[in-house]
Amino acid sequence: MYKGYVYLIGAGPGDVRLMTVKGQQCLEKADVVLYDRLVNPLLLETTKPGAELVYCGKLPDRHLLRQEAINDLLVKYALEGKRVARLKGGDPSVFGRVGEEAAALEEAGVSYEIVPGITAGIGAATYAGVPVTHRDHGASFAVVTGHDKSPAGQPIIDWKGLATGVDTIAFYMGVKNLPYICEQLIEHGRSPKTPVLLVQWGTVGRQKTLTGDLATIAELVQKESFSNPAITLVGEVAKLRTKESWFERQPLFGKHILFGRTTEGPSEIASELTKLGADVFEYPRLLTKEDQLDADISFEQYDQIIFHSPKSVDWFFAQLRNKRIDIRSIHARFYGASKKSIKAIESFACLGFGVHEMIESDRRLVIASKNWETRERKRYDLYSEHDFFVSHTDEVIEQSNFTCQRILDEDRVDTIVFPSAEAVRMVTEQILACQETPETLSKRAEVICFGPETAKAAIELGYEVQHMLQKPSKEELVDMLKSNVKQSR
């Protein structure tokens, strides 16, 4: 019998781009994904449609899945013949109990591999602008647990060796025990003036830091109510921390955006926002299924063809190719309902016009997605007389509701961007599955709409719209978000 396979993968410290290429490839292949609390839920968006997602962190209605139960699940799924991804924060071998999981798989005779990741001690330090070693300030580096199996939960460590033998020390899970840790280090010979840097939620938009020294930091942590997940970096390198790191200086650092999506794949604007430092969640996730052409349809009979998405344009030209129709036999003018559609038309060396340039005609064909047909077609009386054709269907991948739920639970949305009225309706339909409504979402986040049609749709559905872009463009959105960030800094 074929036995499944298990990938024990390091997801990196938070920023989704900090997962290795190999880790990403394994994740995309998995039938089942078991993931921890500290794994960025956005990574789940790259799992294959239909993959089963198992959360191993704490939930309000359930205690943490115990390690033994996780081991058993890994074995169970593998023996069912599934490809299993066990996704762990940071590096799986740094306080990640990967050794126990590997041993359980060995024992059950299940094949597996371990994919390393960037550990938080290095990732969070780097994103806070501090290198863990430096020729002038630190020649050695240790990762140390701040929490242990000892009865009092305090780490059993060779304090003398650590205090005097290592330059830079990264404590994991150490916030609660910080007073004890500082005390031990000082008592065993480390100067109370040794610089200390805490980085909470390193490498993501919520990153926060705190600086002090061994004598002062414990009190500061209490005052600022710093909590886990945080790395405590002790050593001279910590003094290299500047007011803001390269990461925190990005123009949209700290913005958490839910970006309404109506097509498969990343939107160009959303990718730009990510590049500028925002945490962006495109929602919902969609999978495009192409429709077959009705054998009888003849494009030659129309004098206007209106495309409602770039996909519809691609589909149309693919049909011409398949049916061996020469473009010169089509006399219709081509219209695009959006700039993107016009651009797609023009990429085929045909002129594309905006729909506002249309004149009356009774030989008109509209090509759009199934979603547009069900959601938008009736709302438009733009094209009184027309034939209609569905080029493709954008199916919602249910997993994205799972991701959305986790992101909302973690309070990681402060801005919602609706690029179109269709996006407003799409998000609103899906969000119900996450027990949210336009009203509750408006309480959590500012709503930004691209233009009056979009704002109208949002208000009708119950959103409070804070901003409407005068000219719906990437530049204007970025400017607005930047000024928002400035106000909150």
- Name the active-site residue from 58, 275, 343, 474: 58
Whether 136 is a known active-site residue: answer no
How many residues touch ligand SAH under the rule CB under 6 A: the total is 23
- Active-site entry in 173, 426, 468, 480: 173
From the list 36, 279, 314, 414, the catalytic residue is: 36
Should residue 91 be labelled a site residue for ligand SAH when binding is judged by CB under 6 A? yes
Q: Does 169 bind ligand SAH (CB under 6 A)?
A: no
Please tell me whether residue 231 binds ligand SAH under the rule CB under 6 A: yes
- The piece of 26-34, 90-98, 245-253, 254-262 that touches ligand SAH (CB under 6 A) is 90-98
Neighbours of 17 (CB within 10 A): 8
Stretch that binds ligand SAH, among 44-52, 225-233, 426-434, 476-484 (CB under 6 A): 225-233
Q: Is 36 annotated as catalytic?
A: yes
What is the nearest approach in angstroms of ligand SAH to the Cβ of residue 89? 5
Nearer to ligand SAH, 38 or 350 (CB): 38
Per rule CB under 6 A, is residue 167 in the interface with ligand SAH? no
State the nearest-atom distance from the C-beta of 153 to ligand SAH, in Å: 13
Q: Using CB under 6 A, which of the segments 22-30, 49-57, 91-99, 244-252 binds ligand SAH?
A: 91-99
Contact code string over 409-448 relative to ligand SAH, x by CB under 6 A = ----------------------------------------
Binder of ligand SAH out of 65, 84, 104, 173 (CB under 6 A): 173
230 binds ligand SAH (CB under 6 A): yes
Catalytic residue flag (residue 358): no
Length of the chain: 489
- Please select the residue that binds ligand SAH; options are 7, 55, 95, 112, rule is CB under 6 A: 95
Here's the x/- map for ligand SAH, 188-207, by CB under 6 A: it reads as -----------x-xxx----
Applying CB under 6 A, does 120 fall inside the site for ligand SAH?
yes
253 counts as binding ligand SAH under rule CB under 6 A: no
Q: Does 157 bind ligand SAH (CB under 6 A)?
A: no
Instruction: Based on the shown chain and the rule CB under 6 A, indicate whether residue 335 belongs to the binding site for ligand SAH.
Output: no
For ligand SAH, the binding residues in 4-63 under the rule CB under 6 A are 13-14, 38
Residue number with CB closer to ligand SAH (228 or 440): 228
* Of 18-26, 118-126, 269-277, 306-314: span binding ligand SAH (CB under 6 A): 118-126
Tell me, rounded to whole angstroms, the distance of Cα 43 from its chain centroid. Answer: 6
**Region class of 224: left (phi > 0), else alpha (psi between -120 and 50), else beta:** alpha
- Contact partners, residue 16, CB within 8 Å, separation at least 6: 40, 42, 43
> Looking at beta carbons, which residue is closest to ligand SAH?
90
User: Could you list the active site residues?
Assistant: 36, 58, 173
Give residues in contact with ligand SAH (CB under 6 A).
Answer: 13-14, 38, 88-91, 94-96, 119-120, 124, 172-173, 199, 201-203, 228-231
